[in-house]
């Protein structure tokens, strides 16, 4: 009999908790994008923590509640802390996005799945002066297809937009670069080959009530010949350094396409600061068979090639009013110990004096 009453009590506790969850989700569903546009809530997400002390709550139950009560066009992030041991995340999203597709919600990052969906602020207003770069590199990809599922930007020439950049290795060490502006919903023709795909989103002062976007990429796989040890670094911190390869006792590999992207602090461009990167050589193959290509970004022109450098450079300092990207290309023969990239964000006046 005591067991019966304990079971009944536990059932009532569960029922009460689920009822409260249902009410909370209903309240959330009435929030409008205007409620979510506060800069105090980064990326316009609301975190709600439910602490469950008496029983484990199954994720399936909450998914059912969210699907039933939460408006699917409101991007609200619900974090459930269950028994204080782990958390589960659920995101309401447009029905057009496939359930099986990995979803990337942050402003930039490295994507290496065969396919996935970039979902960025689809139902809230974007911020001014944003910079987001997604590096897409599946180990076996020879090209990519790109389908823009939703597009809420209000394009203004040179002030807000998205650029798709393909970097392809041709022959032993030559590289081709192709750029495509994304201006509407639908399939984007990227061409082939496309060994590495960069998606760059930028905004300026004039955003005209723009909202974000969602796009599905799919890798066309084959034999790319690109080293699986290629690395892709996304940096948006105040200062620091990156070494390639990471281990000082190691050498880099043949047939690399590695990228080093230096974005503004917290991905918000500040016109009063410069991005400063210093190159320090540890050892590159002689004869410029292994080399770095330097790119600078501007909203008006996208990523544009600045110059290249190779063995014997020793030291070189780069400055830019916006983002900087270095692409490291190696051929199929000898390798070396690599290099350091020391980065910082400095006030424009200080950078000029230095």
Domains of the chain (ranges, CATH numbers)? 2-91 (no CATH), 97-225 (2.60.120.290), 227-354 (2.60.120.290)
Top pLDDT among 27 and 231 is at 231
Nearest in space to 268 (alpha carbons), one of 42, 113, 1: 42
**Of 30-34, 63-67, 70-74, 316-320, minimum mean pLDDT range:** 70-74
Those residues with Cβ within 8 angstroms of residue 284's Cβ, 6 or more apart along the chain or in another chain: 290, 291, 310, 311, 336, 338, 339
Q: What is the pLDDT of residues 145-202, one digit of tens each?
A: 999 999 999 977 678 999 999 999 988 788 999 999 999 999 999 988 999 999 999 9
Mean pLDDT of 318-346: 96
In this predicted structure, what is the pLDDT of residue 158? 72
Averaged pLDDT of the chain = 78
In this predicted structure, what is the pLDDT of residue 84? 35
Nearest in space to 191 (alpha carbons), one of 212, 220, 162: 220
Q: With bands split at pLDDT 50, 70 and 90, how would you rate the model's confidence at 115?
A: very high
Q: What is the dihedral of CA 36, 38, 39, 42, to 10 degrees?
A: -20
Are 289 and 336 in contact by the 8 Å Cβ rule? The answer is no
Tokens for 252, please give them: 């880099």
Cα radius of gyration (the chain) = 24
Taking phi over 0 as left and psi of -120 to 50 as alpha, with beta for the rest, 20 belongs to alpha
Q: Is the pLDDT of residue 42 over 90?
A: no
Top pLDDT among 282 and 61 is at 282
Strand partners, 273: 347
In this predicted structure, what is the pLDDT of residue 105? 94
Q: What is the pLDDT of residues 132-141, one digit of tens each?
A: 999 999 989 9
Q: Is the pLDDT of residue 47 over 50?
A: no
Those residues with Cβ within 8 angstroms of residue 246's Cβ, 6 or more apart along the chain or in another chain: 231
List, in sequence order, every beta strand (DSSP E) within 152-263: 160-170, 174-182, 186-188, 196-203, 211-221, 232-235, 239-244, 257-262
Mean pLDDT of 216-239: 94
Mean pLDDT of 27-49: 38
Q: Is the pLDDT of residue 21 over 90?
A: no
Strand partners, 91: 77
C-alpha–C-alpha distance, residues 44 and 3, integer Å: 46
C-alpha–C-alpha distance, residues 194 and 142, integer Å: 6
In this predicted structure, what is the pLDDT of residue 98? 56
Q: Is the pLDDT of residue 353 over 60?
A: no
In this predicted structure, what is the pLDDT of residue 83? 31
In this predicted structure, what is the pLDDT of residue 339? 98
C-alpha–C-alpha distance, residues 314 and 293, integer Å: 15
Q: Is the pLDDT of residue 25 over 70?
A: no
For the chain, how long is the longest CA-to-CA vector? 86
In this predicted structure, what is the pLDDT of residue 130? 97
Residue percentage of the chain with pLDDT more than 70: 70
Q: Is the pLDDT of residue 57 over 60?
A: no
Top pLDDT among 75 and 179 is at 179
């Amino acid at each position: 009999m005591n067991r019966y009453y304990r079971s009944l009590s536990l059932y009532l506790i569960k029922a009460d908790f689920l009822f409260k969850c249902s009410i909370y989700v209903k309240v959330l569903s009435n929030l409008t994008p205007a409620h979510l546009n506060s800069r105090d809530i980064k990326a316009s997400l609301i975190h709600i923590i439910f602490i469950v002390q008496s029983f484990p709550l199954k994720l399936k139950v909450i998914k059912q509640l969210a699907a039933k009560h939460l408006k699917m066009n409101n991007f609200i992030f619900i974090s459930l802390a269950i028994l204080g041991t782990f958390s589960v995340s659920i995101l309401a999203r447009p029905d057009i996005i496939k359930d099986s597709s990995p979803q990337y919600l942050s402003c930039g990052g490295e994507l290496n799945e065969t396919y996935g969906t970039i979902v960025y602020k689809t139902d809230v207003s974007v911020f001014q002066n944003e910079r987001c770069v997604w590096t897409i590199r599946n180990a076996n990809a020879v090209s990519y297809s790109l389908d823009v599922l939703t597009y809420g930007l209000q394009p203004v020439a040179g002030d807000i937009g998205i650029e798709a950049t393909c970097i392809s290795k041709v022959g032993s060490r030559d590289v081709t670069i192709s750029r495509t502006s994304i201006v509407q919903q639908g399939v984007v023709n990227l061409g082939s080959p496309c060994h590495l795909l960069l998606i760059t989103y930028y905004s300026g002062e004039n955003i005209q009530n723009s909202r974000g976007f969602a796009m599905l990429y799919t890798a066309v796989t084959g034999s790319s010949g690109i080293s699986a040890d290629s690395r892709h670094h996304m940096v948006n911190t105040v200062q620091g350094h990156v070494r390639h390869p990471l281990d000082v006792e190691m050498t880099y590999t043949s047939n690399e396409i590695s990228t080093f992207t230096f974005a503004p602090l917290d991905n918000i461009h500040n016109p009063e600061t410069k991005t400063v990167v210093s190159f320090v050589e540890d050892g590159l193959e002689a004869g410029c068979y292994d080399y770095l290509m330097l790119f600078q970004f501007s909203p008006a022109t996208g990523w544009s090639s600045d110059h290249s450098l190779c063995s014997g450079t020793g030291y070189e300092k780069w400055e830019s009013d916006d983002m900087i990207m270095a692409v490291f290309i190696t051929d199929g023969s000898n390798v070396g110990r690599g290099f350091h990239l020391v980065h910082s964000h400095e006030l424009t006046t200080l950078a000029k004096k230095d």
